[in-house]
Amino acid sequence: MQPQANITQEKRSRLKRVALSLQYDGSAFCGWQRQSTGVSVQGVLERAISDLDPLSPIQAVAAGRTDSGVHAAGQVVHFDCNGQIPPNRWSSALNGRLPEEIRITESVECPSTWHACHSAIYRRYRYVIYNGCRPNIFLSKWSWHRYQYCLDEQIMSLALQGMLGYHDFEAFRRVGSNRSNSYTTIQEVFLERKGDLLIIEIQASGFLYGMVRLLVGQLVALGEHRFDLDHFERLWKECRRKDVKEAAPAKGLFFLRAGYEDCIFSKASSYTCLPNYSLSTNDPPKNPPLIVQ
């Protein structure tokens, strides 16, 4: 009789690795990561996989963890299974068992050495701000309704451009992070106004805990002219975490996609979230006077 370790190793060598691209409505979950309390995306997904493949040790590994209320348009996940279900059929099989808040858009087989998190060379997030005066029920679940003033997207864009490169972003790290340092590389930034919608995208090699929501909160303060660009730059360059007191709400944030050296999915470049709205209004909010601090 073979030792248990050898049997385990033999079984593991027969497992196939499957990569998933999935979308989810984060408002229904306590975040991606499995929690002792609350319903997580990881927990729901792993139960659905286990129902279809009860003999495999299922662990779903994501490209990036999302907090409670944060959505995903192109989250990437891998897991190992015994191969009874063809890799390209996992998407339809899982969609038949998952709640409507989670949908698998594609499933493919990948090498056993490929890792959804460790193989990623970037993650990209999008934040959506609705800057119209009147509430819009069709956007309320997916955006931050900031209606007091017309946001100055030009100064917000300048602030983002100044953050490109490898820097210490301690000012935008929430308490509770287990990272040994707060350095990361912001690779690309994008800000566009479409009528009353402001679309902000940030791509980085990695993100700190709570980074995007804290950053967007300060960008909005800048866009409302509550302080000037010099103050914003000193805030993060001097790592003044204690002065960052406002975070944007989770519901406007989307994990847009993760990037890899080799193309994993057939539609990896087309992930999006929100229809291509271009909202406008006849009575935009007005900017307050500039306050220099």
Neighbours of 50 (CB within 10 A): 15
CA distance 112 to 18: 9
**Annotated catalytic sites, by residue?**
67
Task: Give pairs for 40-47: CB < 8 Å, separation 24+.
Answer: 41/66, 41/72, 41/75, 41/102, 44/98, 44/99, 44/102, 45/77, 45/94, 45/98, 45/102, 46/79
Surface-to-core class of residue 22, CB atoms within 10 Å of its CB (0-12 exposed, 13-18 middle, 19+ buried): buried
Strands 71-81 and 61-62: antiparallel
